[in-house]
């Protein structure tokens, strides 16, 4: 016997008031549906069938990278029972079926494993939870002995049934051979005119099949997202959980409420992160790294001892040991800085390798370049890498000193030990150890009268 998974993700999520299907909205940088999928992925299963509908191909196209997924379309959203019915034909009758919701992102794999295990003996388990405010959920109705009898949807519930605090999370494990039969028998004669998956509970009871229940470790695991307020609340909750985890690992966060990790962080010890830092994608940070306030860092590798001063934007870059970046620096994709490199304020670096000990400290644009060791690039230096049609490379050697306000017209190669005077436009390659400067005349006009604005 093996496990097949169905994830329901066809609903529009009306209350999101969005053109985007609800499950494609993001929590901590990842779609809601992927959160569910990633938890499920840790189980031992045969295949995951994801039921999509609202928004057409948008959901499968956006998440085409997910492995071991069979995308099943539900053309009209006629209820959870109808949604499961679309997928059941793809599932071998010997399997157990785990049913999940694409809009309940924080479900953990441990809870899912418990739910699957709970179905071992009975062939049918429900994930239920006790909550103080059960509004909106289906209620679990048990008999005098405590056995589950049925699930009643809130809209169909009597006042007495509404007062029950044990709710249906929607997640369940059922043997495929039962499920396929019960799905055929579902009817939509209820207040919402939908085919309720939950009606299979009564069918099981009628056949003398008892239903086991499992509970999540935390209520947050079973919370669904219905609108953007809940999405934001869950984002803050999730960020705080991540922040606490990082702090316990040895990362200092000046304010855990003003820290965002939207992806994966591999963190060393004694990292100090000031407020409003956003980390995205896949990030690794070594030991003894300091990150100033208001930095945005995406897909970066940051080595030990790096100091990033406030207001920097770094994307797809490798930052070597003890580099010092910012404040107000922009490190763009495919930049690699070796150790002890300094990148100062208002400097933009793109697709560039900088060897150890070199400095670009003020107001420069360095793109498509290779820079050697211990080279100093003066304020306002620009690599003119773009001729209006193509990009060209600038290669600068070791121990080069470039004066302020220099333009390097690429393609160009500057040899080791070259010195370039301030205000030079370099238009051709320079041999090592030369001094280069343009001939600039210093003119003075005595008693110069500034033009005046004409009176109307
Ligand atoms: C459902 C349960 C309710 C439970 C609650 C938990 C039923 C009848 N009710 O109610 O007992 O307490 O979830 O959140 O099952 N979906 C589809 N196709 C459809 C309808 C829904 O894929 O035709 C998907 C939705 O996208 C969503 C999930 O199924 O991910 C749940 O649907 P929703 O309409 O939110 O069900 P509820 O009324 O909340
Ligand atoms: Mg719902």
Q: Check residue 456 and give its pLDDT.
A: 80
- Chain segment 394-413, per-residue pLDDT in tens: 999 999 999 999 999 999 99
Q: How far is CA 288 from the centre of its chain?
A: 25
User: Ligand 1 centre from 122 Cα, in Å?
Assistant: 24
Nearest alpha carbon, ligand 1 atom 13: 170
Contact 87, 72 (CB under 8 A): yes
Q: Check residue 12 and give its pLDDT.
A: 85
- Can you tell me the distance from the alpha carbon of 147 to that of 443, in angstroms, rounded to the nearest whole number? 98
- Please state the length of the chain: 456
- Chain segment 181-192, per-residue pLDDT in tens: 999 999 999 999
The torsion region of residue 444 among left (phi > 0), alpha (psi -120 to 50) and beta comes to: beta
CA end-to-end span of the chain: 93
- Can you tell me the distance from the alpha carbon of 354 to that of 317, in angstroms, rounded to the nearest whole number? 12
DSSP state at residue 153: -
Burial of 371: CB neighbours in 10 Å, binned 0-12, 13-18, 19+:
buried
- Chain segment 419-432, per-residue pLDDT in tens: 999 999 999 999 99
Tell me whether domains 3-222 and 228-436 share a fold: no
Nearest alpha carbon, ligand 1 atom 3: 138
Domain ranges across the chain: 3-222, 228-436
User: What is the residue-wise DSSP string for 363-430?
Assistant: S-EEEEEEE-TT-EE-TT-EEE-B-SS-B--EEE-TT-EE-SS-EEESSEEE-TT-EE-TT-EE-S-B
In ligand 1, which atom is closest to the CA atom of 51?
A: 22
Which string of b and e fits 79-101 if b means at least 16 CB within 10 Å?
Answer: bbbbbbbbbbeebeeebbbbbbb
User: Ligand 1 centre from 167 Cα, in Å?
Assistant: 13
Question: Tokens 């150790």, residue?
Answer: 339
C-beta 86 within 6 A of ligand 1: no
Beta bridge partners of 81: none
- Can you tell me the distance from the alpha carbon of 12 to that of 302, in angstroms, rounded to the nearest whole number? 41
Contacts with 261 (C-beta within 8 Å, 6 or more apart), sequence order = 28, 239, 242, 243, 246, 279
Which fold is adopted by the domain 3-222? Answer: Spore Coat Polysaccharide Biosynthesis Protein SpsA; Chain A (3.90.550)
User: Ligand 1 centre from 311 Cα, in Å?
Assistant: 43
Nearest alpha carbon, ligand 1 atom 26: 11
Q: Check residue 413 and give its pLDDT.
A: 98
**CA of 131, nearest ligand number:** 1
- Chain segment 208-242, per-residue pLDDT in tens: 999 999 999 999 999 999 999 999 999 999 999 99
Q: Check residue 24 and give its pLDDT.
A: 97
Max Cα separation, the chain?
Answer: 108
C-beta 200 within 6 A of ligand 1: no
- Chain segment 10-52, per-residue pLDDT in tens: 998 899 999 999 999 999 999 999 999 999 999 999 999 999 9
- Can you tell me the distance from the alpha carbon of 224 to that of 107, in angstroms, rounded to the nearest whole number? 10
C-beta 72 within 6 A of ligand 1: no
Contacts with 422 (C-beta within 8 Å, 6 or more apart), sequence order = 378, 403, 404, 405, 406, 437
**Helix axes 32-41 and 109-122, enclosed angle (nearest 10):** 60
C-beta 198 within 6 A of ligand 1: yes
- Chain segment 278-321, per-residue pLDDT in tens: 999 999 999 999 999 999 999 999 999 999 999 999 999 999 99
Candidates 360, 299, 304, 301; CA nearest to 329 is 360
Q: Is the pLDDT of residue 340 over 70?
A: yes
Contact 413, 429 (CB under 8 A): yes
**CA of 222, nearest ligand number:** 1
C-beta 173 within 6 A of ligand 1: no
C-beta 134 within 6 A of ligand 1: no
Burial of 415: CB neighbours in 10 Å, binned 0-12, 13-18, 19+:
middle
In ligand 1, which atom is closest to the CA atom of 77?
A: 23
In ligand 1, which atom is closest to the CA atom of 79?
A: 23
Interval 358-383 mean pLDDT: 98
Superfamily of domain 228-436: Hexapeptide repeat proteins (2.160.10.10)
In ligand 1, which atom is closest to the CA atom of 195?
A: 8
Instruction: Please tell me the pTM assigned to this model.
Output: 0.92
Q: Check residue 1 and give its pLDDT.
A: 67
Task: Count how many Cα atoms sit within 13 Å of the Cα of residue 129 in the half-sphere of its side chain.
Answer: 20
Contact 215, 129 (CB under 8 A): yes
Of 58, 170, 213, 225, the one to substitute when testing ligand 1's pocket (max ligand atoms within 8 A of C-beta) is 170
List, by residue number, the catalytic residues: 362
Tokens of 163: 């007062």
Q: How many CB atoms lie within 10 A of CB 119?
A: 22
User: Ligand 2 centre from 169 Cα, in Å?
Assistant: 9
In ligand 1, which atom is closest to the CA atom of 76?
A: 23
Nearest alpha carbon, ligand 1 atom 37: 137
C-beta 272 within 6 A of ligand 1: no
- Chain segment 114-171, per-residue pLDDT in tens: 999 999 999 999 999 999 999 989 999 999 999 999 999 999 999 999 999 999 999 9
């Amino acid at each position: 016997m093996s496990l097949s998974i169905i994830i329901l993700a066809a609903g529009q999520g009306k209350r999101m008031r969005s053109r985007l299907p609800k499950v494609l909205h993001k929590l901590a940088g990842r779609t809601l549906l992927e959160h569910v999928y990633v938890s499920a992925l840790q189980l031992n299963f045969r295949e995951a069938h994801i039921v999509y509908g609202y928004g057409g191909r948008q959901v499968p196209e956006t998440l085409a990278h997910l492995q071991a997924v069979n995308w099943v379309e539900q053309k009209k959203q006629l209820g959870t029972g109808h949604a499961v019915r679309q997928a059941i034909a793809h599932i071998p009758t010997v399997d157990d079926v785990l049913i999940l919701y694409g809009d309940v992102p924080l479900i953990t794999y441990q809870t899912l494993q418990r739910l699957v295990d709970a179905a071992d003996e009975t062939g049918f388990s429900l994930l239920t939870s006790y909550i103080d405010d059960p509004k909106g959920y289906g209620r679990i109705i048990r008999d005098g002995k405590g056995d589950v009898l049925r699930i009643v949807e809130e809209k169909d519930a009597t006042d007495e049934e509404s007062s029950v605090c044990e709710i249906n999370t929607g997640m369940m494990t059922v043997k495929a051979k039962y499920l396929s039969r019960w799905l055929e028998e579902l009817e939509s004669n209820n207040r919402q005119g939908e085919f309720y998956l939950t009606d299979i509970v009564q069918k099981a009871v009628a056949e003398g099949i008892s239903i086991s229940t499992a509970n999540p470790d935390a209520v947050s695991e079973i919370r669904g997202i219905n609108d953007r307020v809940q999405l934001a609340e869950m984002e803050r909750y999730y960020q705080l959980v991540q922040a606490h985890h990082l702090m316990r690992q040895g990362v200092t966060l000046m304010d855990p409420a003003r820290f965002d990790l939207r992806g994966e962080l591999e963190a060393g010890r004694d990292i100090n992160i000031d407020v409003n830092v956003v980390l995205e994608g896949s990030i690794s940070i070594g030991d003894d790294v300091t990150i100033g306030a208001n930095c945005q860092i995406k897909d970066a590798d940051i080595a030990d001892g790096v100091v990033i001063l406030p207001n920097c934007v770094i994307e797809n870059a490798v930052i070597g040991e003890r580099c010092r970046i910012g404040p107000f620096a922009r490190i763009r994709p495919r930049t690699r800085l070796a150790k002890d490199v300094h990148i100062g304020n208002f400097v933009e670096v793109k697709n560039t390798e900088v060897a150890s000990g070199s400095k670009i400290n003020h107001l420069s644009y360095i793109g498509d370049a290779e820079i050697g060791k211990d080279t100093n690039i003066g304020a306002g230096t620009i690599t003119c890498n773009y001729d209006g049609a193509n990009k060209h490379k600038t290669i600068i050697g070791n121990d080069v000193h470039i004066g302020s306000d220099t333009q390097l017209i690429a393609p160009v190669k500057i040899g080791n030990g070259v010195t370039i005077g301030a205000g030079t436009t370099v238009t051709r390659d320079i041999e090592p150890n030369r001094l280069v400067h343009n001939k600039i005349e210093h003119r003075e006009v005595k008693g110069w009268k500034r033009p005046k604005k004409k009176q109307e």
